[in-house]
Amino acid sequence: MNMANTAVVAPPPPKRLEELSLPRVFMRDVALKTIFRKNANTVTYLSKAICLPIGITQEIIDIARGQGLLEAMGTLGAHSTTNEMVYQLTDSGKARAMDALAQSEYFGAMPVPLDVYSQQVRRQSIRNVHITREQLMGAMGHLVLPSTLISHLGPAVGSGRSILMYGPPGNGKSSISNGIRDAMGDKIYIPRAVEYSGQVITVFDPIVHSAAEVEEDDPTALRRRNRFDTRYVLCDRPTVITGGELSLNMLDLVYNPTARTYQAPLQLKSTGGIFIVDDLGRQAEPPQKLVNRWIVPLEESKDILALQSGEKFEVPFDTLVIFSTNFHPNEIFDKAALRRIFFKIKIDGPNQEDFLKIFALVARKKKMQLDEEALIYLLKTKYPTIDNIYANYQPVFLIDQMIAVCDFEGWPYKMTKELVDRAWANMFVKDEHIVK
């Protein structure tokens, strides 16, 4: 990634309590719940648990002490490396923590207000990414692609707009989607949780987000360097991949009635990154209905979510959406839907020359010795039976089949006509009527 063009501005660490833009009672209660659940009894421990600077954490502790919810118990003592004050909840503090937990089980990292996070989204927008031809080709160097495909993909990826890839199955649409993901080599900041109208929505998800290693400050050092607001996690640009399992309710807020908190939907977790809808047309809902759900986000760069109360609110939509389908677009979309998908790119199967390149690459990787006579037999005898239609998946399939036969028979890994026949027999199912 050209970091000179796409350097992401980090969220600055807050210096004062007011900069958090959260109600004081809300912040106090998150701290009390964290102390109660994690026994965070020093300012250093609590500071790390709620992801705030020590100075601001001390302010919150002082507010709770002033209200009789916390009390100081003295220092850690001579056996400790620091001479920190130890705090504990008073009876009133325990009661308040229990009451706050009854309203919401959320504790730990102080949430980022939604409007503050929206500002960070703009600073690290997917539309700020600039990918060169060399970078895109480097990320897809392991693929044999038509020479014109990169020319179509490059502007599509660089725009940060929606992409529809369509064409016959088995020709690398999923691999190309992953290559686009790999080409985006920079990192962005993902909030651990956001707050809207007093409700907490968790965003950071270790399954979706790949956290980068960040050097931690030494808590005993005289000067601590706060590089960015630690309520965020520095991550690779996220990628969410869904397939036939995608349903409309997966694009809504997920409410946990036990914890009384929300989890961000998939598209919000993918903010600043890529959302891949693979195998479009295989979902329970019709493709038209799924795309209709994306119309407002794709056009206005915002999405509408709803709380349990029914209250609706806007969240940023800053995601490169890639739809991948084996169907022709005209079969599954109306013209209005197609108009809203910015780029439409057809992914065809390879020609014979590219097919042979892929076949040779796979054979070398899997240590299958090729044979000219057997290759000619494959091309001149077998492929005419399917009208010489080549697909990218076929070399891997055929060579894996030949290797399986060789392993079973105890033969050396060398391509023969017999191996071609046995492999070919498993690649297609003969159309026939089965008597029941």
Q: What is the pTM of this model?
A: 0.84
**CA gap 13, 19 in Å, rounded:** 9
- Please state, in angstroms and as integers, the Cα–Cα distance from residue 365 to each residue in 360, 362, 376, following that order: 9, 5, 21
Question: Is pLDDT above 90 for 219?
Answer: no
pLDDT band at 295, cuts 50/70/90? confident
What is the 3-class SS of 344-403, one letter each residue?
EEECCCCCHHHHHHHHHHHHHHHCCECCHHHHHHHHHHHHHHHCCCCCCCHHHHHHHHHH
- DSSP label of 127: G
Q: What three-state secondary structure class fits 246?
A: coil
Q: Which pLDDT tens digit goes with each residue over 165-205?
A: 998 888 877 788 778 878 887 899 999 999 999 999 999 99
Q: What three-state secondary structure class fits 315?
A: strand
Structure tokens at 25: 């009672």
Task: Classify burial at 20, counting beta carbons within 10 Å of its beta carbon; exposed 0-12, middle 13-18, buried 19 or more.
Answer: buried
Which one-letter amino acid corresponds to residue 28? R
Structure tokens at 115: 């409007």
pLDDT band at 82, cuts 50/70/90? low
Which one-letter amino acid corresponds to residue 298? L
Closest CA to 82 of 120, 42, 111, 114: 42
Rounded to the nearest 5°, which phi and psi values hold at 310?
Answer: 100, -10
pLDDT on residue 141: 73
Average pLDDT of the residues of the chain = 89
Q: Which pLDDT tens digit goes with each residue over 83-119?
A: 789 999 999 999 999 999 999 999 999 999 999 999 9
